[in-house]
A and B are shown apart, each in its own frame.
Chain A
Amino acid sequence: KPISSEEKDDVLLAERYLRRYYGMPAGLQGERKTSDVMSKKIREMQEFFKLEVTGKLDDDTLEIMEMARCGVPDVAE
């Protein structure tokens, strides 16, 4: 089904978050590849925050992403 605008907002939030704090590269090519990398980065983030590691943008993961926080990446480059 078409993605709802709320879901789109969540994905955008997650992309911004993962790029900034988990070193997700920008400008990936191809939908499949993008989603694989994003899922891997979501897993890294879920592991760090001791959430259930699903690789998916569930409510708990989004909740942490929306919290006020420090701008230094969690995974050092």
Chain B
Amino acid sequence: YNHFPRDLKWKTTDVTFRILNYTPDLKKADVDRAVRNAFNVWSRVTPLKFKKLYEGNADIMISFGAREHGDFNPFDGPEGLLAHAYPPGNGIGGDTHFDEDETWTKDFHAFNLFLVAAHEFGHALGMAHSSDPGSLMYPVYTYGKGYPLAEDDIKGIQSLYGENPNHGKVNPKPDAPSKCDPELSFDAVTELRGETIIFKDRFYWRLHAQMPEPEQNLIKNTWPEIPNKVDAAYENPEKDFVIIFSGIKMWALNGYNLVDGYPKYIHKLGLPKTVRKIDAAVNIRDTGKTLLFVDEEYWSYDEQTGTMDSGYPRSIEENFPGIGDEVDAAAYHYGYLYFYHDHLQFEYSFASRKVMRIMRANSILGC
């Protein structure tokens, strides 16, 4: 997290606000609710109390305006710049402006007023932009459900105002996972046209031969349609698609683009209805088979015929000795299967049917 220079903050914990005008995109009551809920996000973790004024000068003056709207800091029409707010101070300090050229919503359509307001009020209270992509104070808009503050935001605001004495622990959104955490485990690993994509929580890392460092992104920033939690993924390089599994649904990518006609149910692959989630998936390029790992068993799917092979499910422990009985993620390179489970990575020789090496999971991230 970051603060503004000189750690600007309100001198009192009683902060007033006033809504000067309303957007026609929403009912007045919806705007009132979005604004109140956005303040509640911050009051939940601090001693701050927000009081609404209906006339006169409030600390935080809230308004909707388009283009040049009175502060010589013009908006830019639809999209791009959504809103801005001024750090705590007299006069314009704390004031929060929303671009009326945007479409304001109370759902997942662009742009959710509550989320943007919560971010802007962060500025109005003294928070500058954070470079943590999982935090509310990250400068780029992302839609997400639930309590929007990440641990990073909470630490930032509490270092200015302290904790809320009357409120217990909140469940913040998890921070972006740290790639060199020795306990790091993965949700899913896949190739994508020569790149490696590693899913973890709401994020993914992208490994590219021409990039010295892994790049971390929010899943929603790249694929807004895909859920925040990916269970498994694999690439079929022959057909040039990547399948992403989340719960009982699956999505297909061609390059970075989602393929029309998805999501589909995983049972379309021939899995029994009792399977509610796939733990890991990997395509064995040399055989054209895709292995699907579910709990302590795995299935084999024939990509050529589009059917499940008979004789499955089989036991993971018996058929891949040495890797344990469950896997989180799997990948295949040059005759070796790489199984990820908890913080470990097992290099398994497909030909000699044994584990050749055991490494930390995050050695793939250069740690």
Contacts and interface: CB of A to CB of B under 8 A. Distances in A.
A45 to B, nearest CB: 10
Contacts of B128: 72, 74, 76
A74 B129 contact: yes
Looking at B110, B140, B212, B221, the one whose CB has the most chain A CB atoms below 10 A away is B140
Contacts of B123: 70, 72
Looking at A51, A64, A71, the one whose CB has the most chain B CB atoms below 10 A away is A71
Contact of B139 (A50, A52, A72, A77): A72
Contacts, number: 67
B70 interface: no
Contact of B131 (A20, A49, A68, A71): A49
A26 interface: no
Contacts of A60: 215
Nearest to B78: A68
A8 interface: no
A59 to B, nearest CB: 11
Interface of A: 20-21, 48-52, 60, 64, 67-74, 76-77
Given A69-B81, A70-B82, A70-B123, 19 more contacts: A48-B129, A50-B131, A52-B211, A52-B213, A67-B140, A68-B79, A68-B111, A68-B140, A68-B141, A69-B139, A69-B141, A70-B81, A70-B116, A70-B129, A70-B139, A71-B81, A71-B83, A74-B128, A76-B4
23 contacts: A21-B139, A48-B129, A48-B131, A50-B133, A50-B213, A50-B215, A52-B211, A67-B140, A67-B221, A68-B80, A68-B111, A69-B140, A69-B141, A70-B119, A70-B141, A71-B73, A71-B75, A71-B82, A72-B123, A72-B128, A72-B139, A73-B129, A76-B128
